Structure 1
């Protein structure tokens, strides 16, 4: 996969005056010796992504061949007996060290936790995105419960799992990419001092399709009668949630950091838009388009003068990207654009009442219009990024296990010049996609509007909804960066603060969507009250990984001196 990355490690070690710890048996390349607990072999694909049986021997390998030797080294450095695990854990909790994991998921594999939403299931594996939650958490965890990689895996000496040490994974398309990544950190201030106001700018890009309702009449029509929507699955109908959290991110998170904020929502947040020439070609491509493709209307939705994604990310030091995607690509436009492309505004409004019910709102007359502005590997690799810190809040885009490097969505950002990327390896959670107050699981038009008006009135007073799931971790990390913490330390502290803060919050549902989730949503429909959904919160704790040097200390305009 990513070859010869280890050749860079001596230089990184020398720069940080650290220790190089490497062993050939860290790698996991399954053969006939990779056995399950009942001593069965695991023929087939080389990765748990498409061969769930491998998850058990893989996780055991990581625990026995990497975690235990790493703990032994840490114990020796601290002068603490290895069998005094509590003392060792407490020592590194208060005195964390930086651990840079240099290599891909074969050379230095990740633990793959069970995932109730996207399970490791031998009988019905999730073939495209893979099941389970691949995680680098174990590289920083002193005291995991041995051989527990369940959805709710805990630690030995803490109520919630806790990451003692500071971890980041250094990876790239090839050794040249990784060399460039390390150099961007070493010469960071030399680089940014030549970029003008780039260092004082942040991009706040939030995709459409973040809003969710459970409208009873539409359930009857599209679920019971037409069988287009699984019973219980939330539908992507407007609640104002996405717009509110776009504004919240700007006012509550980024502006207090001292940034000039460039914000874009839905189609505006796409990477690029259509030129007049491209729209003309689409118009003339077939008889149907000549009759029903209104190029002037589409230009207003996703023309090159409307779309701001490329401009904003290239101008920004800190980048928050919130969208729908997978391990290869993510896209900002939601059902609003997917429902377009057939007729003008009247037909568009009609289709907008139908599209969210078909394949989670991803299929409609305008689904092809999304492709041009998607954040694909080919589009992103040609960006001219500064040494940015990028948080990608999208399903699966951070998954590297079973993914060829040049086809990896997050690695394209590193290739294009970013200094560090944080992304999730599985289906990331949306905090309901609705606004409060919401007293019942079903939604009616007046209850949705009441919640929206209540929220916007409060926002005018400076009162915003609370953050949850990955967004809460991002916000906590930003607070740490304001205190002049490195990205690795700020990220570690944010993760450790997450579960104690969010575990008791209750909600009606937590997308993502998917055919494999229909049984889960069906069970949720029987609930008469909100639930903690603790398994989903553990997934949020486990799924995010820092890709970059954990000792990287980005410039923040408003940070404490």
Structure 2
């Protein structure tokens, strides 16, 4: 084996690379003794692909194969970029994207044998020949992800190996492809590659892979507008040291009257409590509450039971909350991490089965609840060696593909705050940062480190001549990961809200200012958080964004006016004054740009009326001004039963929406910190089909204005990331300046009827 240094790798990719390393691509022998003849051989590396014009379906259970899928679904050649949809799902039938676009041929990856075998079969399926391949050890996903986009840009297969010894089937595949060189991603891969007798180029560290990628992009494209930032450790899990599940059952019987906004129990209590034990050490706690039986008068009347679940530590400290409105009808769950905090914990279940309606502004709320139900609470306590809890695991799987498909680069690393250092910072606690302000300093320090990593990456881009053009352009930064994997910064609050609302002001803002202390709108980068309840949902979002025109056209076959419909929805009969002073006049303005605006409120904006009228399914742009929380929002005036008409995660999860732009002036509806990803309303709308969701992570007020963002999209035809950057630059009033968050691909540019 010949082990070439990173210097040689950069040199063989061409003269444009020399600027990235300050070197000279002349006739002198390279630092590792590479002759001009050997350099010419590397420069002439080539591949020929087999024809395929379908989609790639990737199993969510094999993160390492996300690296293999990237060059299969996106590649560059002399004609430019080519891309195919990359969908992550257990079956083809689960994909809305594939169903709507009618993909006729689907290549499946990760469903049959071991990753090494599947990567080998994929290489020979997609490539007729390739004189160079990339190779990564199966255990090196977190490292190899940084080199994976190279395979797309160089149009080469990426192979997975799981052992040091020579594999006969792999050797046959390499021989059939006509391989002469192997680019090894990491030292482990280099050891494996050596067994096959080819020349081996070793990119041993993450920095070497990233520098190589920057050089390739500089050589191939001459510039870059997009950086995907991801944390590959969201896909690494280890079995618990021990696991114990205890189940508790209770019957809740209660009659409750609600008058003048107050609750009065006429019979029984609406809650039940359960105690459970947690030992010392590092423990992941998940408590599930489930309605197993109900015999209340409303059981056959179409009214749904609502249960809430709260957890408390041995000292009575609030650990988290879940509602069946935020998960599934009749069930919910709460999870947290307890670090060195043993003792007796408490789970409390609250039940409501009945009506509650009218506006707290226009008229005091009133109603009745008649509860007669059996509930079961299952508490699972898993002891961990090191703390781990990715709210949305495996999202990094899509990052190499997304980076290449956007003509961008990839910045990967351990950007999360949960790890060994967290175990020390959180010792003696069981509340996550969203419920524990004592951890905000620790989390903020991690965000500071992440900002430092971005700044260092920009400096390395400058060496390659990429930084100036990046910052002068859209400067898209896509945060591919959940709020534990790439944490938000917590700004302080003067007063604390209700416990379930969370503490502090969590924000992605510092990733765009590169300065957490900025208060003046000095927004540098156009950011968006690519997050979803699952990797399946995120791959659908990526496909809808990258193949937007195809998907939009397919969706409009069932909603012909969708692209031109702008929905304005307000609450409290114009008591939300934005309905009067913004939505009505702005509706008239967007009509001048080809939209068909629709302004709705009062009884028309409840869930039943909205579903029947197709307000959400039929609208490209959706703007709401209402009261909300992280799992619901309430238009408020819709008769005597608000609970049955609220828009909540439990029901939005079942909706099928278009690739819309969803803009909210509503408290908390953008919260994703310290709450399960599949309970967050913002991410439920992403799952339902929305391409861009803007919401506040905590309470907001009259400063929550959105017209700057909308004007930038409609009048200036900007991407959502650029429009969001402009909004932040012009609207700097707190707290919206800090907490308003964009979920979606920042490079996504939606359709407007005047921009065609």
TM-score normalized by structure 1?
0.60
2:652 paired with 1:380: yes
Q: Return the offset for 1:329.
A: 0.8
Q: Return the offset for 1:402.
A: 0.7
Counterpart residue number, 1:4:
394
- Describe the superposition over 1:458-504 as per-residue Cα deviations: whole angstroms up to 9, x where unpaired: xxxxxxxxxxx222xx21111111211111111111211113xxxxx
Distance 1:309 1:115 in 2: 41
Distance 2:717 2:521 in 1: 25
2:623 paired with 1:320: yes
Counterpart residue number, 2:418:
29
Of the two structures, which has the highest relative contact order with CA contacts closer than 8 Å and spacing of 6 or more? 1
- Describe the superposition over 1:336-366 as per-residue Cα deviations: whole angstroms up to 9, x where unpaired: x5xx6xxxxxxxxxxxxxxxxxxxxxxxxx3
Distance 2:574 2:482 in 1: 32
What is the correspondence of 1:422-461 to structure 2 with a 5 Å cutoff?
422-429=694-701, 431=702
Counterpart residue number, 2:434:
49
What is the correspondence of 1:239-278 to structure 2 with a 5 Å cutoff?
242-252=579-589, 254-273=590-609
Counterpart residue number, 1:223:
none
Distance 1:44 1:386 in 2: 42
SS at match of 1:49: helix
Structure 2 unaligned residues grouped into runs of 5+: 1-390
Counterpart residue number, 2:185:
none
Q: Return the offset for 1:205.
A: 0.8
2:690 paired with 1:418: yes
Correspondence for 2:723 among 479, 484, 490: 490
Larger radius of gyration: 2
2:127 paired with 1:127: no
Distance 1:33 1:309 in 2: 48
Distance 1:309 1:547 in 2: 27
SS at match of 2:749: coil
Counterpart residue number, 1:457:
none
Q: Which has the higher strand share?
A: 2
Counterpart residue number, 1:371:
643
Is the 2:704–2:736 Cα contact (8 Å) retained in structure 1?
yes
Is the 1:35–1:57 Cα contact (8 Å) retained in structure 2?
no
Correspondence for 1:77 among 461, 470, 475: 461
How many residue pairs are counted as aligned between the two chains?
360
Q: Return the offset for 1:46.
A: 4.6
Is the 2:593–2:754 Cα contact (8 Å) retained in structure 1?
yes
Is the 1:199–1:316 Cα contact (8 Å) retained in structure 2?
yes
SS at match of 2:527: strand
What is the correspondence of 1:207-222 to structure 2 with a 5 Å cutoff?
207-208=571-572, 211=575
Is the 2:617–2:656 Cα contact (8 Å) retained in structure 1?
yes
Counterpart residue number, 1:480:
712
SS at match of 1:128: helix
2:400 paired with 1:16: no
Moved over 6 A (4+): none
- Describe the superposition over 1:186-230 as per-residue Cα deviations: whole angstroms up to 9, x where unpaired: 221112223022111111111117638xxxxxxxxxxxxxxxxxx
Counterpart residue number, 1:193:
553
Structure 1 unaligned residues grouped into runs of 5+: 82-87, 120-125, 213-239, 274-306, 341-365, 432-468, 500-536
Distance 1:322 1:29 in 2: 35
- Describe the superposition over 1:253-282 as per-residue Cα deviations: whole angstroms up to 9, x where unpaired: x32442101210132112214xxxxxxxxx
Q: Which has the higher helix share?
A: 1
Change (3 A) 1:251 1:314: same
Q: Return the offset for 1:245.
A: 3.5
SS at match of 1:21: strand
Is the 2:513–2:524 Cα contact (8 Å) retained in structure 1?
yes
Distance 1:78 1:544 in 2: 31
